[in-house]
Structure formats: structure tokens, C-alpha cells
Structure 1
Amino acid sequence: MEQSGTSTRLAGAVQGLTSELVSALRSGGPFRLAGSVRGSDGPEAADGLALAAVRVVGADAALPSVLHRTPPEPDDLAVFSRAVHAYPPPSDASPTSVWSHWAMKRTLLRLDASLDGAAGHDPEPQAAWLDDASWQSLTHQLAVLAPLAVPAGDSAVARVARGRPVDVARGFVRAVRRRDWLQAAGAGRWLVLLDDVPPTLGLEAGLDFVAQMGCDDPRVALQIEAAHLMRAGVRV
């Protein structure tokens, strides 16, 4: 019962943080991570639930700073850093969990290389598990790892995606047909960064459709807003 209640509170914290991120992306205004997570009046006040919510959202918790090129405040960086270090992946973690954590560390270093313990020297995780993935599985994994889809965000995962634009496009269409709006939004975010996407896909109209159908889910809205910003030419 207690575990169920914790899961519910975490889901609510994640939803609240994601909604704040969507608003910041849409407005282009300042985003204060330290003031957006529950129980956080500064880096030292952020409780375990707040930090866990940041860890679930992953590198996208800093997305407004990355896409709008607005320097984050020191206490925002400190909260982000605490979330990175509070929840390292265990030794038996899935590849997506390892990559998600690596993306957070890379984002932290990208925003402030002087941060103590930014762990920017860690080797990039391997992505061999994606090399022979079916196009369905590839799209699923890329959607989970959508925070890696940022301008100038080179990684082994991004290189796999760049080599298979048609497969990602097929996966996007499949997700739309299956009404899996979150997967479609994540795949769409990758597609705006890929070359040689089939023009017959109608990506812009597809993104608008996914946004309309998945509008009740802030996670979908976050991916779509990121895709629209990058498609419009936002670069870092």
C-alpha cells in the first residue's frame, strides 16, 4: 500500500514537472527547476521525491536551457546534479536506463563544465544492442531515449538513428496507427533531426495530429514542443 502511494505521488510529481517544462518551452521564458519540483526551495531543500521526478524526466529536465540557450541558475544546476548523483543506474540496469543517466551527465557538463562531479569523462555506453534491432524495436527504444534527440547531440544512439531514417519513419506511422501517442511523439522528435526522412511521411502534419490526439498527456506535449522548436531551427 505504501509503495503504491509512493508511486502515485512520484507520477504526480513527474506530471507536474513535465507540465512546467512544456509551459517554459512554449513561452520561451525563464524556467526554474529548483522552484518547479515539489519540496524544492533550493538545491538543499529538494526532497527524495522531487529528485526522483527529475531523474525520471531525465535530461529533458534542463531542456528549456538547452533549446532556448538560457543559462540555468546555479541552484537549478545543483538540483539537476543532485538528481544525477542520487540515482545512478544499478549494475544490472537496462541499456535505456544507462543511456538515460549518461544523457543527464552529458547535459550537466554541457551546461556547466565546472560543476564538481559532472562525470563528463565517463565513456559513452555501447549501443550494439540497437544495431540489429527491428524497426519496431528501434522506434520503441528511440522514443524512450528521446532526451538524447537534441541539436548537436552526438552519441552512438543518435548515430544509429541517423543511419535508419526510413525505419524510424515507419515506426512513427505504426505508433500513430496504434494510437501510441507517446511513442509517436518521441519518434517524431528524432525525425526532425534526421536527414533523408521520406517526404511522403508528412512529418509536420503528423506531429500536429499527435499533439492534438495526445494533448492530455504532458509527456507527449513535451516531445512535440521540442520537435517543433528544433524543426523551426532552434540550435545550440
Structure 2
Amino acid sequence: MEQSGTSALLKGAVQDLASGVVSALRGGGHTRVVLPAATDGGAGELTLAAVRVLGADAMLPCLLLRTPPDPGDVAVFRKAVEAYPPREDAAPTVRWSHWGMARALRRIDPSFASGPSDEPGTAWLDEAEWQSLTHQLAVLAPLAVPAGDCAVSRAAGRRPVDVARGFVRAVRRRDWRQAAGAGRWLTLLPGVPDTLGLESGLDFVELMSGDDPLVALHVQAARLMRTGALV
């Protein structure tokens, strides 16, 4: 029961954080996400865990919109990076998520000199069937940013048709989060079939997902990248 309650709290915290990112990406005269202060105690741990789940996207507004980051947000983000290093037996997606957070932090906070700089491997992606590839890329959608070259983006770039197939499959299965993550990648990939109708497809995904802030985050990021936002 306690574990279930904690999971519900974390889910709510992640959704609240994603909503803040979406609001900042949409404008409103600000780019601060307003991360809750990560003080000692349960509330602070929940904040750090939520930032870790959202990954580098917690800092996406200041990166995509090219504005100075808020020092308070940076402090919380840095604490999340330092507090949750991947374990030795961590899954590849966990390692890549942490790598992406460290990369984002180095870009916005030059004083940060720790964290992984060497990229994890991508053999598991290169060998994946197109369905699994799309799923894994959707999980790693925070790595889908302009000028964000890495082994994952290169692996995706070698298989644009497979990712497009995965996007269509996710839409048909009504897996809106996977579709939004895949669509975000497709916005950046060369060789995407014109017949896919990606822009209208992402509009449809956002509409059908209701008020899911995680879907809205990826769709809004894709829109900004399509209009030339740079990281």
C-alpha cells in the first residue's frame, strides 16, 4: 500500500513538472520551470526523483529557447544528476538518460565538471526490431534535440523508415506517449517519408491524448524544433 501511494505521488510530481515545462515552452513571458526546492525530507526526495524521471527535458525551455537558466532550477537539476547515478546493472536507457542529463547540465552550468562524458553503447538499438527501436527511442526522447549528436541520434538517423513505421503503429495502438516521443525524433531525422504527414499526425496525437502533459511536452518540443530552435 505504501509503495502504491509513493508511486502515485511520484506520478503526480512528474506530471506537474512536465506541465511546467510545457508552459515554459509555450511562452507566457517566462522560461523558468519553477522546480520545487529540493530540501531535505520526503518532499525534496520526491522532487529529485521527478526530475530524474523527466530527465534532460526538465531543462528543455532554457535550452531550446536559448535563454539564461534560472539559478534555482539549475541547482535542483544538478542535485538530481548527482543524487541518482545509474547503478552498475542499470538498463541502457537509464544510462543514456543520465548521460543526457549530464550533457544538458554541462551546457547550462560550466562549473559542472563531473558526470559521465563517455557515451554508453548502442548495440542494443542497432540490433532491435523496428517495434522495439521505436519504443526505446520514445523512452529516450529527451535526447532528441537539435545539435544533439550522439550515438543514439545516429542510430535513429540510420533507420528513419523504421521509426516512421513505429510512429504509425503507436498511433494505431493509441499509445500516445510513444507516438509523441517517436514523432519528436522524426522531426529531426533525415529521410522521413513525406507521406507520413508528421505535422498533422502530431496534432492528432496531442488532441487524442487529452491533457497528458508528457505527450504535450514532446509535441511542443517538436513544434519548436521544426521552426528552427537550436540547442
Give the alignment's TM-score, normalised by structure 1: 0.93
RMSD between superposed Cα atoms in Å: 1.4
Which residue in the other structure is 1:7 paired with? 7
Contact 2:62 2:68 in 1 (8 A): yes
Shift in CA distance, 104/51, structure 1 to aligned 2, threshold 3 Å: same
Q: Tell me whether 1:113 sits opposite 2:90 in the alignment.
A: no
Contact 1:108 1:118 in 2 (8 A): no
Q: Can you list the C-alpha shifts for 1:174-229, whole angstroms capped at 9, x where unaligned? A: 00011100000000000000111000001111011101111321100000000011
Q: Which amino acid aligns with 1:84?
A: V
Gaps of 5+ in 1: none
| Letter aligned with residue 66 of structure 1 | L
- Counterpart for residue 220 of structure 1: 215
Give the superposition deviation at 1:27: 1.4
Over residues 147-195 of structure 1, what are the superposed CA-to-partner deviations in whole Å (9 max), with x where a residue is unaligned? 0000000110000001111100010000001110000000000000011
The one-letter amino acid of 1:12's match is G
SS across alignment from 2:230: coil
Partner of 1:66: 63
Q: How does 1:87-106 map to 2 (within 5 A)?
A: 87-106=84-103
- In the alignment, the residues of structure 2 paired with residue 138 and residue 119 of structure 1 have an alpha-carbon distance, to the nearest angstrom, of 26
Counterparts of 1:105-144 in structure 2 under 5 Å?
Answer: 105-115=102-112, 117-119=113-115, 122-144=117-139
1:232 positional shift: 1.3
Query: What does residue 207 of structure 1 align with?
Result: 202
Question: Contact (CA 8 Å) 1:14, 1:56: kept in 2 or not?
Answer: yes
Question: Number of matched residues?
Answer: 229
TM alignment of 1:144-223, pairs within 5 A: 144-223=139-218
Separation (CA, whole Å) in 2 of partners of 1:215 and 1:72: 30
Q: CA deviation at 1:32?
A: 3.1
Deviating above 6 A after TM superposition, structure 1's stretches of 4 or more consecutive aligned residues are none
- In the alignment, which residue of structure 1 is the partner of 2:35? 36
Look up the equivalent residue of 1:59 and give its one-letter code: A
Question: How many Å apart are 1:15 and its aligned residue?
Answer: 0.8
Q: 2:11 is matched by which residue type in structure 1?
A: A
Conserved in 2, the CA contact under 8 Å of 1:103 and 1:148?
Answer: yes
Moved more, 217-226 or 1-10: 1-10
Match of 1:233 in 2: 228
Retained in 1: the 8 A contact 2:55–2:100?
Answer: yes
Unaligned runs of 5+ in 2: none
Counting aligned pairs with the same residue, the percent is 66
Q: Which amino acid aligns with 1:36?
A: L
Q: 1:6, 1:89 → 2: CA distance?
A: 21
Equivalent in the alignment of 2:16? 16
Report SS of the residue matched to 1:47. helix
TM-score (normalizing by structure 2): 0.95
Quick one: which amino acid aligns to residue 144 of structure 1?
V
Deviation at 1:28, TM superposition (A): 5.7
Query: Residue 8 of structure 1 aligns to which amino acid in structure 2?
Result: A
Check the 8 A contact 1:51/1:79 in 2, yes or no.
yes
Name the amino acid aligned to 1:125: P
SS at match of 2:30: coil
